[in-house]
């Protein structure tokens, strides 16, 4: 596949359609990135959380642009570097593992480990630990964001490669999607961190994404639409529960006033 590095003709409806489609795809694939950034940045002092989210998304944007500019090198990462003899691929041959697969597997393991650890911390009973934990270091949070950004960037760019062959359109789509995510990252982060049940749901979502990345690394392709549909359904159910809890609280307050 030959990739073009030239200014596209924006008067062509096909180009506009491709740009809108790719931008929408980048936003959808970036949702899990925003969730991770929101949860990790919540460990920082309030004054630093917005800065961490912005830096994290800017780094993700720059990393994806660099990957697109080195798209030939990126495609080379899909070439197998070793095989696993006891696992067969779709053709019945030993499973070939590439650098891309290694990155996805390690990224999935990191997401599962980090999300499980966060759930464990949130389930701790207040008062059990006598030592008060200090806020996380800013550099440590940024490092975690960069690591996950790298994994999500590879997955996002490799998906975009299969849709279009113009690198300029890919870069424009990445920039637009990142600007939109920067605008909504703050409200999304505050909404998630304000509701503990949504935090657990978001962490469960990240564990699911981690499993999906590991499966992708071993060439077990799972339709992502099923994953996102399940998460959307769970989110809708939780929002209904939140509304019900709010209504019950209002009824109880009204009864107490009477």
Do 112 and 74 share a domain, yes or no? yes
Assess if residue 179 is contained within a domain: yes
CB 78 within 8 A of CB 126: no
Do 250 and 172 share a domain, yes or no? no
The CA distance from 64 to 216, in Å, is 20
Do 53 and 130 share a domain, yes or no? yes
Do 258 and 131 share a domain, yes or no? no
The CA distance from 164 to 71, in Å, is 12
Report the mean per-residue pLDDT for the chain. 78
Which pLDDT band holds residue 125 (cuts at 50, 70, 90)? low
Q: Which of 38, 254, 19 is nearest to 148 (CA)?
A: 38
Rounded to two decimals, the pTM is 0.70
pLDDT of residue 3: 54
CA distances from 5 to 35, 64, 69, 155, 171 (A): 32, 15, 9, 21, 10
Assess if residue 3 is contained within a domain: no
Do 99 and 84 share a domain, yes or no? yes
pLDDT digits (tens, 9 = 90+) for 67-106: 777 776 766 677 788 888 777 777 777 888 888 888 888 8
Do 53 and 170 share a domain, yes or no? yes
Assess if residue 145 is contained within a domain: yes
The CA distance from 199 to 235, in Å, is 11
pLDDT of residue 5: 62
Assess if residue 202 is contained within a domain: yes
pLDDT digits (tens, 9 = 90+) for 10-49: 777 877 887 888 888 777 777 777 888 888 888 788 888 8
């Amino acid at each position: 596949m030959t990739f073009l590095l030239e200014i596209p003709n924006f008067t062509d409806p096909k180009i506009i359609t491709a740009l809108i489609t790719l931008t929408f795809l980048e936003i959808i694939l970036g949702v899990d990135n925003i969730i991770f950034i929101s949860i990790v940045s919540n460990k920082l002092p309030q004054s630093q959380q917005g800065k961490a989210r912005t830096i994290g998304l800017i780094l993700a944007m720059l990393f994806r642009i660099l990957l697109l500019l080195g798209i030939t090198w990126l495609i080379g990462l899909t070439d197998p570097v070793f095989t696993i003899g006891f696992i067969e691929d779709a053709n019945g041959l030993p499973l070939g593992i590439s650098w891309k697969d290694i990155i996805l597997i390690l990224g999935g393991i990191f997401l599962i480990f980090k999300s499980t650890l966060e759930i464990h911390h949130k389930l701790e009973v207040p008062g059990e630990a006598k030592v008060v934990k200090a806020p996380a270091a800013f550099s440590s949070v940024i490092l975690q964001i960069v690591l996950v950004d790298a994994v999500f960037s590879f997955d996002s760019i490799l998906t975009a490669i299969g849709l279009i062959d113009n690198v300029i359109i890919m870069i424009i789509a990445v920039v637009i999607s990142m600007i939109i995510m920067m605008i909504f990252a703050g409200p999304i982060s505050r909404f998630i961190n304000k509701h503990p049940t949504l935090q657990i749901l978001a962490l469960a979502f990240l564990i699911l994404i981690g499993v999906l990345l590991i499966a992708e690394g071993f060439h077990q392709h799972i339709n992502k639409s099923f994953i996102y549909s399940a998460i959307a359904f769970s989110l809708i159910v939780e929002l209904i529960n939140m509304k019900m809890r709010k209504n019950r609280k209002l009824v109880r307050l009204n009864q107490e006033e009477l």
